[in-house]
Amino acid sequence: MIDLDLLISKAKRVHISQLPIRWGDMDAMRHLNNAMYLRLMEENRIEWFRAIGTDLGAPKGHTPVMVNVFCEYLKPIVWPAVVETAIYLGERGRSSLQTFHTLAVDGVAMSRGAVKLVWIDVASGKSVLLPAGIHALFD
């Protein structure tokens, strides 16, 4: 089992989002659908990318792609709620970056997760070196 508490405690928090859940995000059990936890992590990650000027969805150039994802569900999130979602930077590789996410409501931890990203050249699909701007975040 992955000890996300330990990994997150060693990671650097770089962005926080306040994301409201919608009525339609709930499942038949009347709590946030499990896939929506991943969507909240994604929204937080996209906000962070935009804040640091990462070109997402470009038809050419370099962009990050997700190579794996892990989510640990701690407590159900119920509507209405605003979820504080944070992203943390873990280890970096030549072309990869380990990130972690926490989801909390009113200061209570609801979920945490991990996403590994790899930067690729869009045209070739091959990995490329991490951008200098990402390296600078570790200084």
pLDDT (tens digit per residue) in 36-49: 999 999 999 999 99
pTM (2 d.p.)? 0.92
| Beta-ladder partners of 83 | 19
Query: pLDDT band at residue 138, thresholds of 50, 70 and 90?
Result: confident
| Beta-ladder partners of 16 | 86
Pairing type for strands 62-73 and 108-121 reads: antiparallel
Q: What is the pLDDT of residue 93?
A: 94
Query: pLDDT band at residue 1, thresholds of 50, 70 and 90?
Result: low
* Tens digit of each residue's pLDDT (9 = 90 or more) over 59-105: 788 999 999 999 999 999 999 999 999 999 999 999 999 999 999 99
